[in-house]
Amino acid sequence: MDNQRLLIWAIFALLAWMTWNQWQAAYGPQPEAVPATQEQPAIEPLATEGDLPELGAPDVAAPSAPGESPAAQAAPDETAAPVITVKTDVFELQISTEGGTLQGATLLNYPVAKDRPDTLVRLLSTDRNELGLIRGGLRAAGATVPDHKAVFTAKRTDYDLGGADEIVVPLRWSNDAGVTVEKRFIITRGSYVIRVEQILNNGSSEELKADSYTQVLRRSFEQERSMFDVDSYSFDGPVIFDGEKSEKMDRDDLQKGGAVEYTTDIGWVGTIQHHFVNAIVPEQSKTHILRVELTAANDVAVASVVSQRANIAAGSSKTFATTLFVGPKLQSQLEEVHPKLKLTVDYGWLTILSQPLFWLLSIIFGFVHNWGVAIIVVTILIKAAFYKLTESSGRSMAKMRNLQPRMKALQDRYKDDRQALSQAMMDLYKREKVNPAAGCLPILIQMPFFLAFYWVLLESVEMRQAPFALWITDLSSRDPYFILPLIMGAAMFFQQKLNPAPTDPVQAKVMQIMPVMFTGFFAFFPSGLVLYWCTNTLLSIAQQWKINKLVERESKEQKSAKKKSKKDKE
């Protein structure tokens, strides 16, 4: 009984922690805006005789208004570089001709909130409070090549995918030495992948030693923390994959420890913002330097990739290619870009269970085309998979239910001697082959799947704002009318009636209020999670009802057989 009591309080603690997470996400303190006086990062090459320029400390001032290019702020008296608008079926991009910097990305199919369909998610922006830029360029030893400050020329300032399957946006740059560079952005229908090619033609009389770099810049702020480690939920900041593992780069660690740098041929870097990611994936099987750091003011995170140096002979050319991903963390698309890019979907320590669970949900969704129905089907499959294991537990609980009158008699007999009562109870359990702790098994089995569903619902963008039926229009948010939690609470109350009442009075009172407590907790959980628990509870009721009837019939048959045996002996 002590084990059962401990388990109950452990469940309460778990639910309190999850409720706190939900409350913080919905109503907790919001991140502070980046002050207008703070500066945003830039690359300042430090020329070294006979070697490549180094990537130095950031220092470009922040944009003063949305849509204004960094160059315009650095030199207000000059005309801002033209901005190219690119619209596909999934996003709208703004590309500055200064450096070919991606300075705007609006996701056309992802509103910020379901009740605000016209307010769309922006992953890249020059707005100082939501700063996001992806920029890059070339570096060469002792020669001029276009970095992120160089001004390119473009034939057009507006591109629309229309009925085509692909858009190619070319920018051009040249110098008096005969070096020309074409920077091309290649985007295909239905994809959040942007392939960037920098084609360097060395028309000079000298060999060039050059490399390329790409950076994603994202505003950084102090996240609210608590004793429950909310940082693991909805992390907002830089992430790096060093070829072996992915790591979220904590802001405090970067402030204290400085930049983090790896050299690898299969890595990537990026920044994540709950369901969305900006990632840089360099050419694989080629050595790159990956680096993550904060600006001097600690207000912007910078994730960089520098390619391997290449020698470009006079009269020859070299293509430096990089793949960008700017969009929702759709696992199928992420995996196509890099097999480990789906690690940006942060399932935490339950990844080993959450990923196959999401895979199974996705397979079923492909048939039923409704994530709510998929959750119900998966719950049934999980219940069926563990039916035999939980059946033995259910039988023990049914037998204990039948033993209630005898247990009550023992309590009355030994009401003044707890030690004798405990011994008598243990003897009764032993004679009747009943395990009082067996009732814990179904809960212990359910909890990992419950937590896995929790993370899948919160972290999988595929379920973001996904409707189920009737009033449930968003499985990733709470039931707006609290109907599903009330149904779940009623189901839990009925489930208790099928199980034996605890002999401990304190535990019995706790069990009585548990449906009410769970209803209160689940009222703020994602409705998809409540749907899972409600379905599981209803299935458990059906299973236990069947087992109770079976055990009751077996008990009657045993009593009848004993009476018959006794009569035969007489």
Phi, psi (rounded to 5 degrees) for 32: -75, 145
Distance, in Å, from the CA atom of 372 to the CA atom of 467, rounded to the nearest integer, reads: 7
The token pair at 31 is 């991140």
In a domain, 353, yes or no: no
Contact residues for 29 (Cβ-Cβ < 8 A; gap 6+): 224
Looking at 295, 322, 346, which one is the last position of a domain? 346
Residue 404: give the domain boundaries.
359-558
Instruction: Based on the fold, state whether residues 293 and 414 are members of the same structural domain.
Output: no
pTM of the predicted structure, to 2 decimals: 0.76
% of the chain exceeding 90 in pLDDT: 34
CA dihedral of residues 324, 328, 329, 331 (deg, nearest 10): -90
Domain count, the chain: 2
**Angle, CA 454 vertex, CA 452 and CA 456 arms, to 5°:** 70
Task: State the pLDDT at residue 542.
Answer: 84
Instruction: Based on the fold, state whether residues 333 and 368 are members of the same structural domain.
Output: no
Residue 234 has pLDDT above 80, yes or no: no
Residue 216 has pLDDT above 70, yes or no: yes
In a domain, 7, yes or no: no
Does residue 57 or residue 542 have the better pLDDT?
542
Instruction: Based on the fold, state whether residues 316 and 377 are members of the same structural domain.
Output: no
In this structure, the chain runs to a length of 570
Distance, in Å, from the CA atom of 306 to the CA atom of 304, rounded to the nearest integer, reads: 7
Residue 186 has pLDDT above 80, yes or no: yes
% of the chain exceeding 70 in pLDDT: 72
Does residue 215 or residue 248 have the better pLDDT?
215
Q: What DSSP letter does each residue of 419-433 carry, written as one string?
A: HHHHHHHHHHHHHHT
Q: Which residues sit opposite 291 in a β-bridge?
A: 261, 304
In a domain, 33, yes or no: no
Residue 278's pLDDT band (cuts 50, 70, 90): very high
Task: State the pLDDT at residue 280.
Answer: 95
HSE-up of 39 (CA within 13 Å, CB side)? 13
Residues 319-367 have pLDDT tens digits of: 999 999 999 999 989 999 998 998 888 887 788 888 888 999 999 999 9
Q: Are the beta carbons of 403 and 434 closer than 8 angstroms?
A: yes
In a domain, 28, yes or no: no
Residue 558's pLDDT band (cuts 50, 70, 90): low
Q: What is the mean pLDDT of residues 492-500?
A: 75
Nearest CA-CA partner of 130 in 331, 276, 293, 257: 276
Task: State the pLDDT at residue 116.
Answer: 85
Task: State the pLDDT at residue 469.
Answer: 84
Instruction: Based on the fold, state whether residues 387 and 329 are members of the same structural domain.
Output: no
Instruction: Based on the fold, state whether residues 335 and 410 are members of the same structural domain.
Output: no
- Taking each helix axis as running N to C, give the angle between helix 440-459 and helix 387-402, from 0 to 180 degrees, rounded to the nearest 10: 130
Residue 507's pLDDT band (cuts 50, 70, 90): low
Q: Are the beta carbons of 131 and 62 closer than 8 angstroms?
A: yes
CATH code for the domain of 334:
2.70.98.90
Distance, in Å, from the CA atom of 384 to the CA atom of 391, rounded to the nearest integer, reads: 11
The token pair at 461 is 């963008």
Residue 182 has pLDDT above 90, yes or no: yes
Instruction: Based on the fold, state whether residues 398 and 334 are members of the same structural domain.
Output: no
Looking at 346, 369, 398, which one is the last position of a domain? 346
Task: State the pLDDT at residue 48.
Answer: 32
Q: What is the mean pLDDT of residues 478-491?
A: 87
**Token pair 């020309």 is at which residue?**
180
Q: What DSSP letter does each residue of 454-510 carry, written as one string?
A: HHHHHH-GGGTT---BTTB--TTS--TT-HHHHHHHHHHHHHHHHSPPPSSHHHHHH
Instruction: Based on the fold, state whether residues 310 and 391 are members of the same structural domain.
Output: no
Percent of residues in the chain assigned helix, strand, coil, to nearest 5: 40, 25, 30
Instruction: Based on the fold, state whether residues 337 and 373 are members of the same structural domain.
Output: no
Range name among 306-320, 522-536, 551-565 with the lowest pLDDT average:
551-565
Q: Which residues sit opposite 324 in a β-bridge?
A: 194, 280
Instruction: Based on the fold, state whether residues 528 and 395 are members of the same structural domain.
Output: yes
Instruction: Based on the fold, state whether residues 214 and 363 are members of the same structural domain.
Output: no
Instruction: Based on the fold, state whether residues 400 and 321 are members of the same structural domain.
Output: no
Does residue 297 or residue 215 have the better pLDDT?
215
Q: Which amino acid is at 167?
A: I
Instruction: Based on the fold, state whether residues 394 and 299 are members of the same structural domain.
Output: no
Task: State the pLDDT at residue 271.
Answer: 93
Range name among 153-162, 390-399, 478-487 with the lowest pLDDT average:
390-399
Contact residues for 106 (Cβ-Cβ < 8 A; gap 6+): 91, 92, 120, 121, 122, 123
